Chain A
Amino acid sequence: MSSDVHNTPTTGNLAAYVVGQPVSAEHFLRMCWDISFALGFNTQTILAQNFAYSSTTARTIKVSYTRNPGVDILLVEVEAHKAAAIGATGTLAVSSSAGSIAWLSNRDPMSTGASGTFLAGHEDNLSRQRYRALMNVTGLTVGTKYDLNFAFTNVANHNGIAKLSVLEVPIATVDVVRHTAEIGIEAASFYRDNPIATNLTTSPRGMARFLAQIDRARKDNKRQWQICTSELDAAAFQTSSAAYANLMVSFGLTNPTYRMRARRLYKTTDNNVYTLAIRYRVSGGATAAFQVKVNGASTTITGLAGAAYGETTTALNVPCNGANDQEVTLEFTGGITAGAGTFYVSRILLVENES
């Protein structure tokens, strides 16, 4: 590797690196901290928000989840609608499309086994009760996309979920040796078997391991942008229009424009590559199409059909050349392209696909 570096600074950390001279321990330790930070605090992602529906019957919400390296626990926050009467109880059971997940018992109140009991208040119209629970996701493979199924059941007087937020809990320590799903390298450590120096025979070690972890920070932490509802037609995004129409207008008055910030790793002309995945169904035997506009540029998925909810994916390039800190606009529309029916979309997911 060349010892040349572009735009060598005259102040700051990099000035400490003088070609031909040893690297100071202080600055290398700073890099150890940086890698822990990049990997540990890079991961937390809001996975899904604001499923709103009301039902006294059981409904399942499917949240897509691609586990990031090192993450063992998800924090789930549920906001309940005002109850129909005093003494409202419901349950929120969880399962995954593969692998295993489970509520953890160390945070109340959704701690009573797999059911996850949570209550709802009836005091007034102006408050909502919130509950938090922790979910163990160590049974899921890092980097694989799963569905997390949240199955709500009314037990008594419960009016369902006003909002469900799913967050990854960032990690405290990073240790590639102790934990197979772990990432990074321990920072300045009192462990005598600091993995940076440990002489392993099965994987890169020392500085090579360090570089490998930088590479993992680049490509293995997946940004996920997701909005979804329950797979209840009344709650799903929908349109019966023949033209690309206001798929999401049932949630307001105008089809909304969302914004997100693309992660730029390379040149401004290099896109941030995502996978776009939608869960949908089309009634009446019709055929539908889905369209996303990123900064006004369209990507369309055509030929969508099927009476039952299913998923389709396509690649989506998100530009990183925005004038305003790589912010991009996102617009979602859909339409019926053949036959007559209604196009329902219960989930829109963008998951980063850096490789």
Chain B
Amino acid sequence: MTVLFGIGERGYDRVIKAQAASTTGPITNGEPLDSGTVMFASNNLAHICRESVRNLVQSPGLGSTKASYSNDGALFNTLRDTGFSFGGTNSGFGGVASIPWDPRCAEAFPCHIVCDRKIGGEASPSAAALANIGRITMRSIRYSIDADIDATNSAQSWLVALTTHYNPRQLMDGDYLAFSSGIFAGTGHRIQTGTLSATRPWHPSLLTPWSCRPASYADGAVSVLVLEAYLWFGWKFVGTGTNNAINGLSAWESRIDPA
């Protein structure tokens, strides 16, 4: 299934409850459809589509910093190597290449992306989107990073990216669908939220087939084309303090238009 349109227009911002769908009611076989009924149905459909946004990431914390790094299985509380050298200077914390995106400083979560957001904004008339089908892109993704920041850090930043691959090298080279970053303000317990949004139009070359029906299905195995993606969380704590931590990560699709 390809997703070419923005979602339909809503006449009202909620589902309008109607009679239980059945063979009875105002809809009679062989008779023309009542336009009002169809307007209700169209509104409800558009509203449900709009509210069909999903939770993408809900992850417990990844541990606190530790002087020596180990990835030998004892993951929690051993994850962050505060002595790690990022190379070069410590400036440009917001740049996608400012961290190596390896397990010391990043986590990647698989998902697939639904493209039904009009580039001009969620509120723009659907008719405009229909007239310009190519200008559809991914939904906005909101994220929340719950962290602790050591007071002795010389710098601390977060980075969030959406890619179509699990390859840190490509990500560092700037191959991503969307990217967001910033510097944690202050020290101690911090909760950082932000929005990921792409302005590139959806394109069929981004699609990957996923099997959605087993071979035992009546029509045989079936695949669906999805925009397969990874949502990356990265962070950079510069210092030797041990009071840095990533306590929890959240991400979810949103209908908020990017600022």
Name A's B-contacting residues (CB within 8 A): 1-9, 11-14, 17-23, 27-28, 30-31, 33-38, 40-42, 44-46, 49-50, 52-55, 72-73, 75, 77, 81-82, 84, 104, 106-107, 125-128, 130, 134, 136, 138, 159-160, 162-163, 165, 167, 169-173, 178-179, 204-212, 214-215, 217-218, 221, 223-227, 229, 235, 237, 248-261, 263-267, 324-325, 327
Contacts and interface: CB of A to CB of B under 8 A. Distances in A.
Contact of B250 (A7, A253, A258): A258
A37 B49 contact: yes
A207 B33 contact: yes
B122 to A, nearest CB: 10
A75 B228 CA distance: 12
20 contacts: A1-B37, A9-B11, A14-B43, A17-B42, A37-B116, A45-B55, A75-B110, A125-B71, A134-B211, A171-B213, A172-B224, A204-B22, A208-B23, A211-B18, A218-B44, A227-B59, A252-B63, A253-B245, A258-B250, A259-B193
B126 interface: yes
B112 to A, nearest CB: 6
A126 B102 contact: yes
Contacts of A82: 71-73
B211 A81 contact: no
B15 A266 contact: yes
Contacts of A13: 8-9, 42, 46, 126-127
Contact of A256 (B146, B216, B221): B146
B222 interface: yes
A209 B35 CA distance: 17
Given A36-B1, A173-B1, A257 B36 contact: no
A19 B64 CA distance: 63
A5 B111 contact: no
A169 B212 contact: yes
B9 A130 contact: no
Interface stretch (B24-32, B178-186, B198-206): B24-32
B7 interface: yes
Given A126-B104, A257-B191, 20 more contacts: A3-B39, A5-B40, A35-B45, A125-B72, A134-B211, A136-B216, A138-B214, A165-B109, A165-B110, A170-B112, A172-B212, A178-B219, A208-B25, A214-B44, A227-B58, A252-B148, A253-B148, A259-B252, A261-B253, A265-B15
